[in-house]
Chains A and B, each alone.
Chain A
């Protein structure tokens, strides 16, 4: 039997909080972060968004980054979240030379590229941002702020990028090639993908309503979150507080369409099943599913079909926290996993905001009622364009597990 992989730290930045404590408060108070656009400069002000409530300048100040250093919004949010994760696991300021870092993104430095693209082409005034455009550059900027990690790479599978970071990190540890790997993702809202999603007609001008019969699309969000994955023996040796065990994970491809999910949710079903099978858990062991639940008509029915098929009568409470944060795209996998860790620690169900009416064949999410309950196993779904579907399972870790 292989050694368990534990979570010994987590950091999160999103529209409902700049750290886990703030996010927890917002989830418990049911306070959404989706509001009118404030920071992104676009003419599409009709779309509400879940922006991180800080300007780039304010983030630079928090991080002690001097003026004139080229940064991107994705990298700044990433640094804020990584800082919290490293602090919690006692890694901040230590030699990171044996610690891996995997950070998913798709947008990368596009916020600056779209701002300075004409300068790139026509003059040499903003050339420093040419090198910050690609996804890998973003991960390196985030990592380099804290020291020298042993390994860095960047999964880019659209909205499941961060979840796939978790899977790669776990596979590295299982191979005995690292004891600690910090995994996650970061993504800011850009005009590029706001317009892209708009051209696909999947943005809602109202606050998104995941799983509701009247749902009409998603709201974009942004943020970053990182999780410290650690081999159990290493966590024990370092005397870390353990947040949970990463007990299972699955990755499957819907193989249906570049920007739509199959009606039966084949990829989603396979990803969730693989995660449960890996952990040797039954559907009835799962206490809560944090759904991908974007609020698009297509995703929510497809995901519902997959959940109904896998869980049947044993379907646990389901909610989509995208009703708080908007769809944080490449970062959503670990932003939502961090929320699951909070929910497990505080024993409460994050609710699904804005839900009013049931639609046939679509699951009815948790909206109210007694939401304090122990959560031993939580499944967290993350699906991306191209049918890149991943599902992560965390389980409560107690001394008896040892």
Chain B
């Protein structure tokens, strides 16, 4: 038990420049509610023949996953664990459209085959010939957190020594309209929506470590006391206190209700710690919490926190960041607390 867990690679495709950390110095800002991700050239990752049969989200997942496999030097991970709120929604919509508008006679299997949530994780296994543990989680804003939690649990049990953990969601124009109707994105919110493909490699070998995943918890409808206890346990596992934490990364996104929820919790739980945001850069979607993780890894690795991430009254400590705590919540139902540290 209590094996150390290191992150040895992370990569993203989002509404910022893909497969790089340009957002840390020259972020792209958006004054629209709806936008799509910036895609890299997929030729490096997918052959043209393969590309024709693959949905966009699958191509993105291949690009980010292969980037971290290359970075970490692991080509066949022990486990492939994937988060996705909606799965390959583009294919789901195409099949649903055909079903609803053209009826039940002429449906072709292609869209259906790529519509299940586990299509992404399976594709990665097929391409890398990885026969190990392979699971996908589809639970709203904690889809990524669930996938990370699974990897965390199994690495602590020594069942696996490394895991490719990713989270992938696309935002089609029509699904954006539906999510806007239920007040999740767009509307009178200030922020932009997002699309995410994020991959990370976790390993118990420290030789290529960028930083350490110390501890984490995922909770449902917790009381404030339960949250306090969870934070305490997470800090305890790393042997630190809240005073050692350089910043708390929250999911404020310009949606008033969401941001009020965050400020209520963070004022109670972390009154004297600097607050950091990331959704103003990366937007909102069910996989966006994976970019809190990605951003934290990059800040620790590059030993600096871009000033644009800081919000609120508390200043950053005058030092290279050592510990970052991610506090993720959605609609006061699903919460996660993740502690990352520079110390290897």
Contacts and interface: CB of A to CB of B under 8 A. Distances in A.
A156 B80 contact: no
Contact of A150 (B138, B174, B220): B220
A148 interface: yes
Contacts of A255: 122, 125-126, 128-131
Nearest to B129: A255
Interface stretch (B10-18, B106-114, B300-308): B106-114
A127 B187 CA distance: 15
A151 interface: yes
A384 B138 contact: no
B33 interface: no
How extensive is the interface on chain A, given as a class? 35 or more
Interface in B220-243: 220-222, 226
A196 B134 contact: no
Interface in B154-170: 154, 156-157, 159
B73 interface: no
Nearest to B122: A386
Contacts of A140: 333
B135 A388 contact: yes
B138 A158 contact: no
Interface stretch (B44-52, B139-147, B313-321): B139-147
Contact of B118 (A101, A134, A384): A384
B96 interface: yes
Interface in B166-189: 174, 177-179, 181-182
A250 to B, nearest CB: 9
A140 B107 CA distance: 32
A257 interface: yes
A358 B242 CA distance: 67
Given A131-B182, A258-B126, A158 B116 contact: yes
Given A151-B219, A255-B129, A270-B131, A200 B117 contact: no
How extensive is the interface on chain B, given as a class? 35 or more
Given A196-B115, A253-B122, A387-B125, A157 B136 contact: yes
Given A130-B179, A134-B138, A255-B126, A171 B157 contact: yes
A386 B99 contact: no
A388 to B, nearest CB: 6
Interface in B87-109: 87, 95-97, 99-101, 103-105, 107-109
A134 B100 contact: no
A155 B136 contact: yes
Contact of A114 (B84, B99, B138, B174): B99
Contact of A195 (B97, B99, B123, B138): B99
Contacts of B96: 113-114, 117, 192
A258 B125 CA distance: 10
Given A134-B86, A199-B107, A266-B131, A118 B100 contact: yes
A156 B137 contact: yes
Nearest to B223: A97
B137 A153 contact: yes
B109 to A, nearest CB: 4
Contacts of A168: 135, 150, 153
Contact of A156 (B1, B117, B218, B334): B117
A299 to B, nearest CB: 16
A175 interface: yes
Contacts of B191: none
B137 A106 contact: no
A143 interface: yes
A251 B135 contact: yes
A236 B119 CA distance: 41
A365 to B, nearest CB: 27
A134 B104 contact: no
A167 B133 CA distance: 11
A101 B219 CA distance: 11
B116 A106 contact: yes
B236 to A, nearest CB: 13
Please list the 8 inter-chain residue pairs (A to B) with the smallest Cβ-Cβ separation, ordered nearest first: A386-B122, A196-B112, A136-B139, A253-B134, A156-B138, A156-B117, A135-B138, A199-B109
Interface of A: 42-44, 97, 101, 106, 108, 113-114, 117-118, 120-121, 124, 127, 130-131, 134-137, 139-140, 143, 148-158, 164, 167-168, 171-172, 174-175, 177, 191-193, 195-196, 198-200, 251-259, 266-267, 270, 384-388
15 contacts: A97-B226, A118-B101, A131-B182, A136-B334, A137-B140, A153-B218, A156-B118, A156-B137, A157-B118, A253-B80, A255-B129, A255-B131, A258-B113, A385-B122, A388-B122
